[in-house]
Structure 1
Amino acid sequence: MFEDKFNVIYLVLFFLITVIRKTYTRRYGGEKIELGRENLAEIIMLSFGGIVMVSPLVFIFTSWLNFANYYLPQFIRWVGIIFFILACWLLWRSHSDLGEYWTFLLETKNKQVLVKDGVYKYMLHPMYTAHLLWALANLLIIPNWIAGPSFLLFSILLYLYRIPREETMMIKQFGEEYKEYMKKTGRVIPKLK
């Protein structure tokens, strides 16, 4: 478990990214979530995502997934560490730039403003990008066919489900201003000029 330096580094970064998310959830996203038909599917999907996100911890702390282990060269695992560090920074920066306008579910807040500065100047969905970087990091750091790719597969499905709904919601809220913002800004990767 702790004899593998990559497991230790992974745990430190996992702790860091969890602290970042929890800090902003407590500060801005702590409203009670009403369970309704419109958000039940999303809550179930996000709950499943939570399980998938901790699969590397199952890999690190137990032998349950050992049957699916494989070899990863150290160089690849170091690249994964770099991706995870970038994910931590981008998640922190995204939350910091979005501030009080962040919500856990797809909804807008009263007196919502369209945030277009900071990292949002370059990407419509930098939090999704941060999670995608984290998911890629899992794939590159965790040498296990279950714990390595599961978060990436989940993230792709989540993005396909959520991004169109989020953009529709934002267009409904902000109209032409959001449509213009979409034209100038990349979705999860900054647009090259």
Structure 2
Amino acid sequence: MTPTFAKFVFATLAVGWYLLRYEHARRFRREKILRSARGPRETTLLLISLTGLGSLPFTYVATGIPRFADYTFHPIQAWLGVAVAVASLLMFHLTHRALGRNWSVSLDVREGHQLITDGIYRRIRHPMYSAFWLWASAQALLLPNWVAGFSGLVGFGILFFGRVAREERMMLETFGDGYRAYMARTGRIFPLVF
């Protein structure tokens, strides 16, 4: 394992995410939205996350900037990053497959929206967020730079903590006691933990 190969793995992770997401975004973008939390706050949270998971690490991969924040590359750490990246892509795929037409990038309730509680959703309420936490962790393990490597954890963390409670309120308003019972038997992002 070399630093160049670790950067290649990170770039491949991003391409894989894009390809998985593009198909769902293309297929379901015309579904009618009944209620949405889109607005300045949501846009700001998404931009912060994109900066941490995209702009900063890709600047580093392409240019090596910011060089002042580099630390010693450890191949074992990078191999662990490869494993976490694969887990991230798998979780992302399973989540999109389970959600189908219910998926959206923003907090939206679509016409005919269903509460998904099977597949990956059987034990985890928000596996999409789990997948992003795994991506951010893979980024930290693959990119030996204190800024570029850890910006995903910070950027996505801000999105997650600024959004998940609002999302759960929206789901409670939409699905009521069914969602309340679902919350009681599932972990938020990891089974039986959180």
The one of the two structures with greater contact order (alpha-carbon pairs below 8 A, sep at least 6) is 2
Query: What is the distance in 2 between the residues matched to 1:69 and 1:127?
Result: 30
Residue type at the aligned position of 2:68: F
- Show the counterpart of 1:48: 48
Q: Assess if the C-alpha contact under 8 Å between 1:72 and 1:143 holds in 2.
A: yes
1:135-181: per-residue Cα shift (whole Å, max 9, x none)? Answer: 01111110011110111011222111111001000000010000000
Matched, 1:167 2:168: yes
Stretch deviating more after TM superposition (54-63 or 129-138) = 54-63
Aligned to 2:15: 15
Q: Deviations over 1:3-60 (max 9, x none)?
A: 7221222222221111112221112246699xx9962210122023222222221111
Partner of 1:93: 94
Deviations 1:66-96 (A, max 9, x none): 1211113111111111111111111111011
SS at match of 2:188: coil
The equivalent of 1:39 in structure 2 is 39
- Counterpart of 1:142 in structure 2: which amino acid? L
Change (3 A) 1:99 1:5: same
CA contact (8 A) 2:3 2:73 kept: no
User: In the alignment, is the contact (CA less than 8 A) between 1:29 and 1:104 conserved in 2?
Assistant: no
TM-score (norm 2): 0.90
Instruction: Flag the 1:115–1:137 CA change in 2: closer, same or farther, 3 A.
Output: same
Partner of 2:65: 64
CA distance in 2, matches of 1:111, 1:46: 25
Is 1:188 equivalent to 2:182 in the alignment?
A: no
Provide closer, same or farther for how the CA distance between residues 129 and 74 of structure 1 changes in structure 2, counting only shifts above 3 A: same
After TM superposition, where is structure 1 displaced by more than 4 Å over at least 4 residues in a row? 30-33
TM-score, normalisation: structure 1: 0.90
1:147 lines up with 2:148 in the alignment: yes
CA distance in 1 between counterparts of 2:37 and 2:131 reads 28
* Match runs of 1:73-152 below 5 Å: 73-152=74-153
In 2, the alpha carbon distance for the partners of 1:166 and 1:22 equals 22
How many Å separate the matches in 2 of 1:3 and 1:124? 35
The count of residues paired between Structure 1 and Structure 2 equals 189
Q: CA RMSD in A?
A: 2.1
Structure 2 residue runs of 5 or longer lacking an equivalent are none
Paired with 2:37 and 2:126, the residues of 1 have a C-alpha distance of: 25
